[in-house]
Amino acid sequence: MRSRLQKYRKSHGSSKSIDISINSTDKDLGDATRQTPASQPGEPPYLPNAPSTPSPTTAITSSRSVNRLQNNHATLSSPTPSSHATPTMVQTIRTVPSFGDPSDTSSDAPSRTSPFSSSVNSNASRITMSSSHQERASDVRYSSQTSNGDATIRAMVSPMRQESEENPGAWDSTIGKAGLGKTGRVINKLVSDNDALKREIQLERLRADEAKREAKVAEERMERMIGEHESQLLEASVTKTLLARKERQVETLMWAVGHEKQRAAEALERESNWRAEMEKTRVATTRQVEEANTYAALMEGRYNAISSHWREQGEEVKRVHRKLRGEMDDLVAERRRDDEKISTLQELCDQQDGNIRELKRQRDEMEAKFEEYKRQQEEALSDIKTHAAEREAEQERMLQETRDVLNKLKWALNVKENVKDAG
């Protein structure tokens, strides 16, 4: 796309250079026109190389050729015919310098003052004016082919111009008899070259305008494509974000599905194990029920046998039953007494636990007093040094008492180990 824009810009630049060259050419022609001496009214235009004796045939031919050139210029100068096309062409032809000997440049030449030449000039002027009016009324149409950039120019030529083309030997008031000599041929050649160049310039202008339009359309299309591309990029980013979110959701759901599959497999395995265990239990229970029924039938037979054969021993059985019931009552009473003993022992244990706690507290107090005593002893170090013997004996006695108390406390704490029936 950028390369195409650069091509369009290059073509735009080339069209500018063509316009500049055309403007410079028109300027040069205008300067030459200002430098050309003006002709008198009613006289043919001044040409340096014009012959002294005018000829009606030559004048008419020159006039028709000039009219044809003017028509071509009016056809190719602008899309719409303008009233200034013919004077511009005439002025351009008048500015062309002569290639011959400038010996006939005097204003008193006999060709300019002859009555025949003045009448011919007036007739040629009327023909030129009528042809210019018809050229202004002629239709000029342009059709531009946008596919390949070429322009097809179509013009409807007036009947007067066609008639002038059929008679190439007509008189022309602008160049006089110059068309018969070398200067006229050179002028016609230059005019034809100028017309060809103008046609090429017009074609290049049309191509440049078409290229500008195509470049503008391409730029608009590119801007639209850029906008669409940006919107598509935004949509792609949003879609990518949504896709990533959906992928995360899919991963989560896949993990959940895998977890559920694992749970389902475990549940199926547990169900199969449960069914197997239930089947085993059912078989074992069925067997036990059958054995119980068999045993019940056996016991029932035995009971019937016993009841039929040992009916007289009913009193003995009742007596034994009463005896067993009495023994059971004795056992229950003994168990109750044991429970009372256990509760008593529990209370004793609680009491001993309280005593042990009290002993621990006393031990802690004694240790605290011992620490206080040590502190006092350290404070009274000076007295100890002075009364060492007395203090040593006193301390030995107190240490002995302390050891005895500690031994007693240790024995009290280990009373369960030392005494068998203590706990």
User: Comparing C-alpha atoms, which of 65, 69, 64, 114 is closest to residue 88?
Assistant: 69
- Written as six digits, the tokens of 119 are 């009448």
Cα 197 from Cα 203, distance rounded (Å): 10
> What's the confidence (pLDDT) of residue 420?
65
Q: Regarding predicted confidence, which is higher, 247 or 78?
A: 247
pTM for this predicted structure: 0.23
Say how many C-beta atoms besides its own lie within 10 A of residue 277's C-beta: 10
Cα 420 from Cα 415, distance rounded (Å): 9
Render pLDDT for 353-380 as a digit per residue (tens, 0 to 9).
888 989 988 989 988 888 888 888 777 7
> What's the confidence (pLDDT) of residue 259?
92
Residue 138 one-letter amino acid: S
Cα 181 from Cα 100, distance rounded (Å): 10
* Cα end-to-end distance, the chain, whole Å: 107
- Written as six digits, the tokens of 26 are 């028109």
Cα 30 from Cα 323, distance rounded (Å): 164
* Cα three-residue angle 44-50-53, rounded to 5 degrees: 80
Q: What is the mean pLDDT of residues 331-356?
A: 89
Most confident of 120-134, 284-298, 402-416: 284-298
Q: Are 84 and 23 in contact (CB under 8 A)?
A: no
pLDDT band at 61 (very low <50, low <70, confident <90, very high): very low
Length reported for the chain: 423
Q: What is the mean pLDDT of residues 215-233?
A: 93
Render pLDDT for 197-208 as a digit per residue (tens, 0 to 9).
999 999 999 999
From residue 222, how far is each of 98, 149, 181, 227 by CA, in Å? 56, 20, 60, 8
> What's the confidence (pLDDT) of residue 374?
81
Rounded to 10 degrees, what is the CA torsion of 323, 328, 334, 338? 170
From residue 406, how far is each of 118, 226, 363 by CA, in Å? 171, 101, 8
Cα 412 from Cα 397, distance rounded (Å): 22
Render pLDDT for 246-277 as a digit per residue (tens, 0 to 9).
999 999 999 999 999 999 999 999 999 999 99
Q: What is the mean pLDDT of residues 216-239?
A: 93
CA 84 to chain CA centroid, nearest Å: 60
Cα 120 from Cα 62, distance rounded (Å): 12
User: Comparing C-alpha atoms, which of 212, 219, 216, 210 is closest to residue 146?
Assistant: 210
Cα 37 from Cα 17, distance rounded (Å): 32
Do the bridges between strand 140-144 and strand 151-155 make them parallel or antiparallel, or are there none, so unpaired? antiparallel
- 225 pLDDT higher than 90: yes
User: Comparing C-alpha atoms, which of 186, 167, 184 is closest to residue 64?
Assistant: 167
